[in-house]
Amino acid sequence: MPLEYDLASGSTRELNKKLHALGIANKIDSICVTNPNGAHALAVGLTRPLKVNIKGHVGYYCAGMNQIAEVNIDGNAGPAVAENMMSGHVTVTGNVSHYAGATSHGGTLLVCGDASSRCGISLKGADIIVKGSVGHMSAFMAQTGRMVVCGDAGETLGDSIYETKLYVRGTVASLGTDCVQKSMTEKHKNELEMLLVSAGITGADAAEFNRFGSARKLYNFKVDNADAY
């Protein structure tokens, strides 16, 4: 049974409190949020299998610390959307600002537009799929997980990266420290194809992407690599 909440007459605190109170006992598994008007910290810390549809633009930290829930943002999102997400699915139909998906441990963040700088910074296991392009310093210190960019990537992509896999279809302005282009094997093409299909992306061929990852020279300090630190 769906529920509607109008932020034009309610508050963010009240909305988040209601979201955390919803469950099986309420027989409510979805909620539509209208008139967000760029409000911050909407739908944060959700730990129930809810479907939250936000009709409009949101501010910073929307769907932060998400677990299990499916959050759909029909608009643009401010900084740190889906930050520290543990599981679940977050979709943004528009563009996202800085630090999208930062430190996310699991789940999937799908951006249908472009992402600004530092997308996927310190990524820890989630999948981030961007239909457009990403800005500079994306995947900085990304530890594990996967990032798919159907457009271009800005400067210093993957700086100080660990084991995150980066797939970029367009051009890369420059690679960060210890990030290198790697071979695209059939195994990686199959993995990427599955990610594209799961995101509903049909116009991109996995063979058109390049793979990037760690050169593994900065795992342990070596004096020969001192200039790279």
Residue 157: its pLDDT value, please?
A: 98
Q: What string of DSSP letters covers 148-214? A: EESS-B-TTBTTT--S-EEEESS-BS-B-TTEEEE---HHHHHHHHHHHHHTT--S--GGG-EEEEE
Q: pLDDT in tens for each of the 229 residues of the chain?
A: 568 999 999 999 999 998 988 865 667 789 999 999 999 999 999 998 999 999 999 999 999 999 999 999 999 999 999 999 999 999 999 999 999 999 999 999 999 999 999 999 999 999 999 999 999 999 999 999 999 999 999 999 999 999 999 999 999 999 999 999 999 999 999 999 999 999 999 888 999 999 999 998 876 666 666 665 5
- What pLDDT does 101 receive? 98
Q: What is the pLDDT of residue 229?
A: 53
What pLDDT sits at residue 25?
Answer: 61
pTM: 0.93
Domains and CATH numbers, the chain: 2-228 (2.160.20.60)
DSSP annotation of 88 reads S
CA distance 220 to 45: 35
One-letter amino acid at 13 equals: R
Coil, strand or helix: which one is 228? helix
For residue 164, the model assigns a pLDDT of 97
